[in-house]
Amino acid sequence: MAQINNSDTIKSLISKAGIQTSIDNVPTQLAEKIVPVICCDPKRDIRVLVGTASDSVSSLILTTSTTKRTFVIGTSITTAKDVNSTSLFTDIVATNIFGEGIRLNRTRYEPLTAMSHITNDLIYPLPIELAKNSTVTITNSTNVASIDSSGMVFYYEVEDKNN
C-alpha cells in the first residue's frame, strides 16, 4: 500500500472529507483498489468584463495577455431594440489558440415591441483557451433602426509555464 507522507495532503483530506479526528482515524495509506483523485488546478480569480455595442459597430470587450494563458468559461449577451423590425444578430467573437476565429455566443432576436430585450447566457462545460494578444469583441448586425447590446465575458488567466 502507498503511504501518504505529505502533511498538507493529510490536512486537506481531513478537511475535505469531513473526518472528525476525535472520532475517526485519519487514513495515511491508500489501499490497492483505491484511486485517489487530486485537483491540480490552480486557484482561479474569475474576472468579468463588459463591452457595449450600438447599431452595427463592433466594440472591444477584452484584449488577452501577451504572457499569460487566457481561458473563457462563459459569456452573456443582452440586446434591446428601439422599434419593431426584422431579425438581428449579436455575436461575441474571439480567436482560439489555433488562430481560428470563433463565435463564443450568438443571439438571434426578433423584437415584437419597442424597447423589448433578450438575454442569452452561456456557461461552457470546459474552458476555451484564447490566443495570446488577441481580442474579444461584440458585434451587432441589423439593417433597420437602432440596436443596443452588452456582452459579458467570464474568464481567468494562468501563468504560461512555457515562457
What are the residues whose beta carbons fall under 8 Å from the beta carbon of 81, sequence distance 6 or more?
Answer: 88, 109, 111, 114, 115, 116, 117, 142, 145, 146, 147
What pLDDT was estimated at residue 39?
Answer: 59
At residue 11, the 3 state secondary structure works out as helix
The answer on 61 and 25 residing in a single domain is no
The answer on 116 and 61 residing in a single domain is yes
97-143 pLDDT tens trace:
999 999 999 988 877 666 678 889 999 999 999 999 999 999 888 65
Domain coverage including residue 36: 1-40
Q: What average pLDDT does this structure show over 18-35?
A: 74
CB 57 within 8 A of CB 69: no
User: At 45, is the pLDDT very low, low, confident or very high (cuts 50, 70, 90)?
Assistant: confident
The answer on 75 and 19 residing in a single domain is no
The answer on 12 and 51 residing in a single domain is no
Residue ranges of the alpha helices (H) in the chain?
Answer: 7-17
Q: Is 159 exposed, middle or buried (0-12, 13-18, 19+ CB in 10 A)?
A: exposed
What pLDDT was estimated at residue 26?
Answer: 80
The answer on 111 and 72 residing in a single domain is yes
The answer on 28 and 53 residing in a single domain is no
The answer on 133 and 64 residing in a single domain is yes
The answer on 34 and 62 residing in a single domain is no
> In whole numbers, what is the pLDDT of the chain averaged over residues?
83
What pLDDT was estimated at residue 123?
Answer: 94
The answer on 152 and 77 residing in a single domain is yes
The answer on 126 and 155 residing in a single domain is yes
What pLDDT was estimated at residue 100?
Answer: 95
The answer on 31 and 61 residing in a single domain is no
Q: Is the pTM of this model over 0.75?
A: no
Q: What average pLDDT does this structure show over 50-57?
A: 81
Return the CATH number at 83.
2.60.120
Number of domains in the chain: 2
The answer on 79 and 16 residing in a single domain is no
70-86 pLDDT tens trace:
999 999 998 887 666 56
